[in-house]
């Protein structure tokens, strides 16, 4: 009799305890995810990563796992650890990247962030290649247009104006206004008027010491190059004229270095001048025509933020 009562009690206890455990488990998943989110919003990214990882470990079947992986990537990205961010985003694209994409999917956003990571790691080639992969995988018009837009801007950053124009031209007519393509095309057409110096011309001018620097608007460097080279040439002449061949040879050796150095410096000065002017143009272009795309999200779902300056 007592055995039967015990077994009944045990069955009842097991039944109720299971029900309670289910509730607790669900509550814990929410609490755990919310806890990680709290750290992320407080910009405590190291702790956020640990909590998101804990969430993934304890609740691997939860529908928010892709979001947690994405947030791990974002935590690393925000803390400027781009290599680890790349690993996290790549994990997401590898794991969930073979399904149909839409703009709200974390897989699609992860693809964009992979490109951002490559750009931060100074590898624009891989960034473009990754976006081409996304283009091959997705038929969603909005995703494809954003890919074209991002690739276009990567080419702008590398001063490849024609390639950038090609990709902006591939954006569908429905999204042309969204990306302000008319303004962008107008600004991009001004790229031909960037004042540039010809490095070869700078090198040729530098045959006369200082003239190359003068061509690149470096007046102090020009004067220094002229005085130093003229002085050393005169010194070498004097030394040889007075039969001091060893001294003459030494001065000639030094002078050859400074003479070649002034030519080399003039050529690099032209390149630096061009880089500075081109960078200035790109910054102006960003200010006037770039729509900033940021892959942010809210708890209620994913979102894309558009921002541009008036």
Partner 1 sequence: MRIIFYLLAINLAGCAPVSLHNHAGLSDDMISPVFYPVVLFREYISNADGDRCSMYPTCSTYSLEAIKTQGAVKGWIMTCDRLMRCGRDELNISPTIEIKGEYRCYDPVRNNLR
Q: 252-283: buried (b, 16+ CB within 10 Å) or exposed (e) per residue?
A: beebeebbeebbebbbebbeebbeeebeebbe
Q: What are phi and psi of 217, to 5 degrees?
A: 65, 30
Candidate list 100, 276, 292, 305; residue touching partner 1; CB under 8 A: 276
Nearer to partner 1, 135 or 247 (CB): 247
Does 85 engage in binding with partner 1 (CB under 8 A)? no
Of 179-187, 227-235, 285-293, 299-307, the window that binds partner 1 (rule: CB under 8 A) is 227-235
Task: Judge residue 48's burial from the number of C-beta atoms within 10 Å of its C-beta, 0-12 exposed, 13-18 middle, 19 or more buried.
Answer: buried
Please tell me the count of residues contacting partner 1 according to CB under 8 A.
29
Q: Which residues lie closer than 8 Å to 62 by C-beta, 6 or more apart?
A: 29, 33, 55
Q: What are phi and psi of 292, to 5 degrees?
A: -80, 125
Candidate list 54, 170, 272, 286; residue touching partner 1; CB under 8 A: 272
- Shortest CB 168 distance to partner 1, Å: 29
Candidate list 235, 293, 302, 304; residue touching partner 1; CB under 8 A: 235
Nearer to partner 1, 117 or 214 (CB): 214
- Shortest CB 208 distance to partner 1, Å: 15
Candidate list 34, 186, 257, 296; residue touching partner 1; CB under 8 A: 257
Binding site for partner 1 (CB under 8 A): 199, 213, 218-221, 224-225, 227-228, 231-232, 234-235, 238-239, 254, 257-258, 260-262, 264-265, 267-268, 271-272, 276
């Amino acid at each position: 009799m007592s055995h039967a009562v015990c077994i009944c009690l045990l069955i009842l206890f097991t039944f109720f305890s299971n029900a309670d455990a289910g509730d607790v488990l669900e509550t814990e998943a929410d609490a755990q995810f919310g806890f990680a989110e709290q750290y992320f919003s407080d910009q405590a990214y190291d702790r956020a990563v640990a909590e998101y990882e804990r969430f993934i470990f304890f609740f691997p079947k939860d529908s928010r796992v892709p979001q947690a992986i994405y947030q791990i990537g974002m935590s690393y990205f925000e803390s400027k650890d781009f290599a680890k961010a790349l690993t996290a985003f790549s994990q997401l694209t590898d794991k969930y990247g073979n399904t149909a994409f839409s703009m709200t999917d974390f897989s699609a956003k992860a693809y964009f962030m992979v490109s951002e990571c490559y750009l931060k790691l100074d590898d624009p080639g891989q960034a473009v290649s990754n976006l081409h992969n996304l283009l091959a995988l997705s038929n969603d018009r909005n995703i494809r247009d954003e890919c074209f837009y991002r690739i276009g801007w990567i080419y702008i950053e590398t001063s490849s104006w024609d390639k950038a124009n090609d990709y902006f031209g591939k954006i569908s007519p429905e999204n042309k206004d969204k990306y302000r393509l008319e303004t962008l095309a107008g600004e991009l057409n001004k790229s031909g008027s960037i004042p540039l110096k010809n490095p070869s011309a700078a090198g040729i001018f530098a045959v006369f010491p200082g003239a190359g620097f003068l061509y690149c608007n470096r007046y102090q460097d020009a004067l220094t190059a002229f005085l130093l080279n003229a002085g050393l040439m005169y010194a070498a002449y004097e030394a040889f004229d007075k039969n001091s061949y060893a001294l003459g040879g030494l001065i000639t050796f030094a002078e050859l270095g400074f003479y070649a150095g002034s030519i080399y410096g003039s050529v690099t000065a032209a390149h630096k001048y061009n880089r500075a002017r081109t960078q200035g143009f790109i910054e102006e272009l960003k200010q006037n025509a770039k729509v900033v795309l940021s892959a942010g999200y809210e708890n209620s779902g994913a979102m894309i933020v558009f921002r541009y300056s008036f």
